[in-house]
Chain A
Amino acid sequence: MLKIFESVLALVEMELRRLKHDPIEIITRAIQPILWVTVFGIVMARRVALGVQDYVSFIAPGVVFQSATFMALAYGIMMVFERESGVLKKLLSSPIPRANIVIGRSLAGAVRASTQYIIVLASAALVGAKFTSNPLLLIAGYFAVIYVCTGFTAISILAASLMKTRERFMGIVGAISMPLFFASNALYPIDIMPEALKIFALFNPLTYAVDILRKLVLYSELDIYIDLLALTIFNILSLTIAIKELNKIIE
């Protein structure tokens, strides 16, 4: 059992080592969410709109996921590159189960994306956002980000398997990431949405992701079972389909 998991961890380790040698992406990816929190958040907070008391704190978890899921969704570009290079061929002919390639890379992408959690929360705190001071809840929040981003990275790998070229891949990532963000509770509560959008938001995994994080780091609540269930269904579905479609990437 441990042996089977070893290859998954090896792929995560590969990602961490890449990150160590070249952390530039984390910094460039952080610019946008920092602006969301510090500029958009503060300006909107002045209006005391949306029935939300502390708007900067309110959107911080949303912006964490906006940034992290975007990174996760973009991760599949690596698979497109590796399809053109020989890495993927090499992995496919190695003794590890093919499922582990997808699970390992999904987890690797999630770990990479989870760096946004720290950056966004820290920059929001700097401009006055208030989060829980319970370290266990903060750590739980971090793991929630990794968990959620695993599913989104799997979606990204699926997109890479189906799209195959960089241009088409980037196109599809752009097409899904912004609607996901706006049609969720990241920037405003679901209650104030028009009915149609509300329904979409209820099927949007990002809604549950943001909800979990808000409960954990903002309200110090542990009533997250429904969110966890929704996200687990999302992860199982996205991983299963990505595993099933992996063969298409090299045909």
Chain B
Amino acid sequence: MVLGMLAIEVRDLVKVYSGGVVALNGVNLDVEEGVSHAILGPNGAGKTTLIRIITTQIKPTKGSVKVFGFDVVSQGSSVRGFIGYVPQEMSLWTELTGYENALIYAKIYGVESSRRAEVIEDVLEFMGLKEAEKRLVKTYSGGMIRRLEIAIALMCRPKLLILDEPTIGLDPRARMLVWERLLAYKKEFGTTIFFATHYMDEADKYADKVSLIDRGRIVAEGTSSELKKIYGVDKIVLRVVGDMEKARKILSEFSFDVSINNNGEISMVVKEPTTMLPKVIEYLYSMGIAVLEARVVEASLDDVFIKLTGKGISEEEERERIKDILSTRRMIRRGG
């Protein structure tokens, strides 16, 4: 029994769906209280399944999950009392106004009637939706819908906020706005944020800790800079005048991995690129090769992921998926 320290504690979690699909295959995960923790991985890695188990929607096949020490299966209703949750899809009634959605959810979540108006006003104000509160949700933009959903999740002051792909399909400005508000809230109330994403930069920028998930298993864990230090590679990229093949050979003395890119650049993997760069340039010069252009490319979480799993998140696949989600949203806004 862990006392108060861990917001989420996942042990040997396995989920096999009735069709035989193994969504989670032995997941272990600790989310500390008060941190922002990302679970990062490609489509189908098991992120949503993990979140659905943590939020008590579906039961694990094997293993256990505790939220603030409470078991999600046997103490589900206690767990539901702690969490605010924003699913990946839209969780609003589009034929109601923003205010009405907040009002109904306030009643469902048991916000006391004496405080209700004030709480709704506060969260709508906080998420920048006060002006749009009387408009039907079907007229909202994607970013506004997300902010309203987060506002609603914050009404009951959750100790743990769980977000499934919080900014999928949003443009960069809307994404930034969502995160700016989320982090401001976390700072004010010390809320633990656990979020799933397939955006590398989102995990990099907004998570204190990142767990990489692939094919139902956690493949690595740590702060973003730890992960990059352990698994990532920094590179020096050069453009030179003269014999590229000769340059490549010379550079091989500095690095085990030198390659010539299609665009005529030479890239080399090195440990400390900033101190290595002057030496490399000097040495090339002494061998009769002039450097036209040089830059340092630091490791990204993308590199880490590729190194660990042998693949990145296919951009094509991602675009298809966003298209799917956007069309579902449109459909919901029109009809449902």
Q: State the A residues within 8 Å of B (CB).
A: 3, 6-7, 9-11, 13-14, 17-18, 21-22, 78, 81-82, 84-87, 89-97, 250-251
Which residues on the B side are within 8 Å of A13 (C-beta)? 104, 107
A81-B336, A93-B80, A95-B80 known; A250+B58 contact, CB < 8 A = yes
Ordered by A's residue number, 30 sampled pairs between the chains whose C-beta atoms are within 8 Å are: A7-B107, A9-B107, A10-B107, A11-B104, A14-B93, A17-B96, A18-B93, A81-B335, A81-B336, A82-B336, A85-B89, A85-B90, A85-B328, A85-B336, A86-B89, A87-B90, A89-B57, A89-B89, A89-B91, A90-B85, A91-B108, A93-B80, A93-B83, A93-B85, A95-B77, A95-B80, A95-B109, A96-B109, A250-B57, A251-B18
Secondary structure at the A interface, as helix, strand, loop or mixed, is: helix
CB < 8 Å neighbour of B81 from A81, A90, A95: A95
Which residues on the A side are within 8 Å of B52 (C-beta)? 89, 250
A97 to B97, alpha carbons, bound, how many Å?
Answer: 25
Which residues on the A side are within 8 Å of B17 (C-beta)? 251
CB < 8 Å neighbour of B108 from A18, A21, A84, A94: A94
B35 within 8 Å of A (CB atoms):
no
B87 within 8 Å of A (CB atoms):
yes
B91 touches A90 (CB 8 A): yes
Instruction: Quote the shortest CB–CB distance from B83 to chain A (angstroms).
Output: 7
A10 touches B55 (CB 8 A): no
A84 to B57, alpha carbons, bound, how many Å?
Answer: 15
A25 to B80, alpha carbons, bound, how many Å?
Answer: 35
Chain B residue nearest in CB terms to A92: B57
B196 within 8 Å of A (CB atoms):
no
B266 within 8 Å of A (CB atoms):
no
A84 to B328, alpha carbons, bound, how many Å?
Answer: 8
B95 touches A87 (CB 8 A): no
A251 touches B58 (CB 8 A): yes
Chain A residue nearest in CB terms to B83: A93
B88 within 8 Å of A (CB atoms):
yes
B89 touches A84 (CB 8 A): yes
Which residues on the B side are within 8 Å of A92 (C-beta)? 55-57
Among A9, A21, A95, A97, chain B packs the most CB atoms within 10 A around the CB of: A95
A87 to B77, alpha carbons, bound, how many Å?
Answer: 18
A98 to B316, alpha carbons, bound, how many Å?
Answer: 39
A6-B110, A94-B108 known; A85+B91 contact, CB < 8 A = yes
A6 to B87, alpha carbons, bound, how many Å?
Answer: 24
A86 to B55, alpha carbons, bound, how many Å?
Answer: 13
For the side of the interface on B, what is the size category?
Answer: 35 or more
A93 to B88, alpha carbons, bound, how many Å?
Answer: 13
A14-B104, A82-B336 known; A93+B56 contact, CB < 8 A = yes
CB < 8 Å neighbour of B96 from A11, A14, A93: A14
Contact flags B97-115 to A (C-beta < 8 A → 1, else 0): 1001000110111100000
Contact flags B311-336 to A (C-beta < 8 A → 1, else 0): 00000000000000000100010011
CB < 8 Å neighbour of B336 from A9, A78, A94: A78
CB < 8 Å neighbour of B90 from A21, A22, A86: A86
Chain A residue nearest in CB terms to B54: A93
A90 to B83, alpha carbons, bound, how many Å?
Answer: 11
Contact flags B255-297 to A (C-beta < 8 A → 1, else 0): 0000000000000000000000000000000000000000000
Chain B residue nearest in CB terms to A100: B108
B136 within 8 Å of A (CB atoms):
yes
Which residues on the A side are within 8 Å of B88 (C-beta)? 86
A85-B90, A89-B52, A89-B57 known; A17+B100 contact, CB < 8 A = yes
B100 touches A10 (CB 8 A): no
A10 to B58, alpha carbons, bound, how many Å?
Answer: 24
A87 touches B93 (CB 8 A): yes
Which residues on the A side are within 8 Å of B110 (C-beta)? 3, 6-7, 95-96
Which residues on the B side are within 8 Å of A7 (C-beta)? 107-108, 110
A84 touches B77 (CB 8 A): no
Chain B residue nearest in CB terms to A10: B107
Instruction: Quote the shortest CB–CB distance from B283 to chain A (angstroms).
Output: 58
Which residues on the A side are within 8 Å of B58 (C-beta)? 250-251
A94 to B104, alpha carbons, bound, how many Å?
Answer: 12
Among A6, A18, A82, A89, chain B packs the most CB atoms within 10 A around the CB of: A89
Instruction: Quote the shortest CB–CB distance from A99 to chain B (angstroms).
Output: 12
B91 touches A94 (CB 8 A): no
A21-B96, A22-B95, A94-B109 known; A89+B104 contact, CB < 8 A = no
Among A21, A90, A95, chain B packs the most CB atoms within 10 A around the CB of: A90
Which residues on the A side are within 8 Å of B105 (C-beta)? 90, 94
B227 within 8 Å of A (CB atoms):
no
Instruction: Quote the shortest CB–CB distance from A36 to chain B (angstroms).
Output: 28
A9 to B56, alpha carbons, bound, how many Å?
Answer: 24
Which residues on the A side are within 8 Å of B100 (C-beta)? 14, 17
A137 to B202, alpha carbons, bound, how many Å?
Answer: 62
CB proximity to A under 8 Å, residues B41-100: 52, 55-58, 77, 80-81, 83, 85-93, 95-97, 100
A97 to B55, alpha carbons, bound, how many Å?
Answer: 14
Which residues on the A side are within 8 Å of B87 (C-beta)? 86, 89-90
Instruction: Quote the shortest CB–CB distance from A8 to chain B (angstroms).
Output: 10
A81 to B104, alpha carbons, bound, how many Å?
Answer: 18
Which residues on the A side are within 8 Å of B332 (C-beta)? 81, 84-85
A138 to B131, alpha carbons, bound, how many Å?
Answer: 43
